[in-house]
Amino acid sequence: MRRAEWVAARWLGVGVTACLAVVTIGLALGGQLALYINPDSAWFAVSMAVLALVGTVATFLVPLGAEADHGHDHGDVPHGIAHAHDHREHDHGSDHDHGSEHVDHGDLDREELDREAETVMLAPRRALAIVATVTGGVLASGITVAALVLPPASLSVELAMARDVGAPPLFAGMDSVTLATSGDTSSFGIGEWATVFATSTHPDTFEGESVKLTGFLTPDPDDPDSVRLTRLVITHCVIDAQPAALPVLSPGWESEHEVGDWVELDGTVRTGADGTLVIEPATVTAVPEPADPYEY
C-alpha cells in the first residue's frame, strides 16, 4: 500500500511535470506552441520545460519513498549515551512512582475520552482531504493524458462568441491610438482597430482609411445589416484570449457566408449614421483558417 502511495506521489509530481514539458517542447519544435501561448513567451516556456526534464531525470537518483522521510532518523546513538539516557528515565520513573502513591484514574479516563473525541472530529476532515486529493489527481492525470494524445487545436468560434460580453475591447495602449491618429495604420490588426473604434473621440479622423484584415465572421446582435469581423487576441496564453470585433456593413451577408467562416476583407473605414466607425467592404473573400489564428 505504501509503495502505491509513493508511486502516485511521484507521478503527480515529476510525472505530470515531465509529460507537460514533453508536450511543450514538441509543440515548439512543430511550430504549434503559438496555439496556446504568446510567441513572445515561447523561449521562457521551452527553457522551463527543458529544466523540468533535467529535474525529472535527477529524481531517478532518489529512492522511491524517500520524499516521505522527513529526517527523523538521527543515526545510531552511542551505547554509553543511550544507556545513560535509559538510566535517567528509569530514575525519573522511580521517583515518580515513589512520590505518588495514588493515581487519579478519573483523569486518565477523561484524557482517553478527549483523545477519542478528537479522533472522531478529525475523521471527516481526513476523509474530505482524501477525496480532494484523489479528485485533483484524477483531473491532473486526465488533462495530462489529453495533452499527450489529442492533436493541437485553436479555440473555437463558439468559445469566442461566448466570451464576447459586449464591452468595448481595449487590447492596445494609447500609443496605438496615437499612431492611428497620425495615419500610420499599416501594421494594425483587428485588435488595434477595435481599440481605435472603441476609443476614438473624433471618428471623422479615420474616414476613408483603407483596411485589409483577416478574421472570422460573427453576427452583429445590434444590426442585422452588419456582420462582425472577429479575431481572438491573446495577451499571455489562451486562458486570457478575448474576442476583438469590427462592424462591417454587409446587408444579406448570410446568403454568401456562414457564422465562423474565415474571410479576407478589403474595405474602407466609414462613419456611421450614429457617429460610430464601421467598415464598408469592397471585397470579402473566403480563406482557410490561418496557421496562427490569433493576434497578440
Q: Average pLDDT per run of 10 along the chain, which is 296 residues long?
A: 69 81 89 85 91 87 66 47 45 46 54 62 68 72 75 76 65 57 76 85 84 93 86 86 89 88 94 86 93 88
Q: Are residues 130 and 183 in the same domain?
A: no
Cβ distance 260 to 238 under 8 Å? no
0.75 surpassed by pTM: no
Q: Are residues 16 and 134 in the same domain?
A: yes
18 inside domain? yes
78 inside domain? no
Range of the domain at 43: 2-69+114-149
168 inside domain? yes
Instruction: Output the pLDDT for position 152.
Output: 77
Cβ distance 249 to 239 under 8 Å? no
Q: Are residues 135 and 184 in the same domain?
A: no
Q: Residues of 165-199 as b/e, b for ≥16 C-beta within 10 angstroms?
A: eeeebebbeeebbebbeeeebeebbbbbbbbbbbe
74 inside domain? no
Q: Are residues 137 and 196 in the same domain?
A: no
Instruction: Report strand pairing: 226-233 vs 277-286.
Output: unpaired
Q: How many domains is the chain partitioned into structurally? A: 2
Q: Are residues 193 and 263 in the same domain?
A: yes
Q: Are residues 135 and 175 in the same domain?
A: no
CATH at residue 239? 2.40.50.140
Backbone angles phi, psi at 201, to 5 degrees: -95, -10
Q: Are residues 139 and 258 in the same domain?
A: no
Instruction: Output the pLDDT for position 44.
Output: 92
Instruction: Output the pLDDT for position 174.
Output: 52
